[in-house]
Amino acid sequence: MNKDYLEMNELACGFRRGWKIDMNESIDIFSLAINKIKNLTIVFKKMDNGISGACLKLDKENIMFVNSIHRKGRQAFTIAHELYHLKYDDNDFNICGVDSDDEIEKRADLFASCLLMPHGAIETYKLNNNIKKWNLDLIIDAEQYFQISHQSLLWRLRHFLNEISYDEYISYKEDISYNASIRGYDLSLYTPYLNKEYFTIGNYIKLVELAYEKDLISRGKKEELFLDAFREDIVYKFSEDESF
């Protein structure tokens, strides 16, 4: 098995251990990253299709940018990829493309894949589901379970596990939204997270609120700062009347 793959899998498993996450469980990286990294802000922003995200390390704050037009599965992969830069890369700023040949980018991609789905987790999943040979039904079930992108699961099965042929890889790539729909799944994994072109979550929002609570900024300034972060929903409380 590929040496880089095993090495990045070890790193990703260590990362999971650090976060006290079970090795075999699927994770919601969107809320988990915010929950575990207190000085992290994630900005969803419409970018060129070839850019998946970026990562900026400041003195006390970390900011990730995620391309808001990509599908949720791809965005989860991007957040996991940017976590590699945050934790293991000395550069303070990275812009990450979709298909990059750069060595660090390749390692970050492998790390991301293994963080979302550790090697042991996919082996356990295969055992638990009695999978001997992958087909499209089983692949879609697995990507839904791990909440990872269709493309990254196919890439893993083809290039690192060698469990599907090139022809299967090509034929399984097509029409994923339709193929997931007819298997009874909703399309959230294949649509952008929150379906918003601009949105911010994480520490920035908390800090603005805190500054207001401590009388460091006026209500007008607070609203301005929320609007700067594309959070008119907080300023105008759009969802306050929703009932459950």
- Site of interaction with Zn ion (CB under 5 A): 94, 96, 105, 108
Compute the distance between CA of residue 129 and CA of residue 84 in angstroms, rounded to an integer: 30
Name which of 81 and 222 has its Cβ closer to Zn ion: 81
Distance of alpha carbon 134 from the chain centroid: 24
List, in sequence order, every residue forming a beta bridge with 94; answer none if it has no partner.
Answer: 55
In the bound state with Zn ion, the residue whose beta carbon lies nearer, of 84 and 125, is 84
Nearest approach, Cβ of residue 198 and Zn ion (Å):
21
CB of 97 vs Zn ion, minimal distance in Å: 8
Residue closer to Zn ion by CB (options 105, 168) is 105
Nearer to Zn ion, 82 or 223 (CB): 82
By beta-carbon proximity to Zn ion, the closer residue of 151 and 188 is 151
Q: How far is the CB of 159 from Zn ion (least distance, A)?
A: 18
Whole-number minimum distance, CB 213 to Zn ion, in Å? 36
The nearer residue to Zn ion, 73 or 140, going by C-beta atoms, is 73
> DSSP for the chain?
--HHHHHHHHHHHHHHHHTT--TTS---HHHHHHHH-TTEEEEEE---TTEEEEEEE-SS-EEEEEETTS-HHHHHHHHHHHHHHHHH---SEEEEESS---HHHHHHHHHHHHHHS-HHHHHHHHHHTT-SS--HHHHHHHHHHHT--HHHHHHIIIIIS--S-HHHHHHHHTTHHHHHHTTT--SGGGS-GGG-SSEEEEHHHHHHHHHHHTTSS-HHHHHHHHHHTT-HHHHTTTTTT---
Cα separation of 142 and 75, whole Å? 18
Q: Which is nearer to Zn ion, 105 or 143 (CB)?
A: 105
- Residue of closest CB approach to Zn ion: 96
Give the nearest distance from C-beta 105 to Zn ion in angstroms.
5
Tokens encoding 50: 């070839």
CB of 44 to Zn ion, least distance (A): 17
How far apart are CB 141 and Zn ion at their closest, in Å?
29
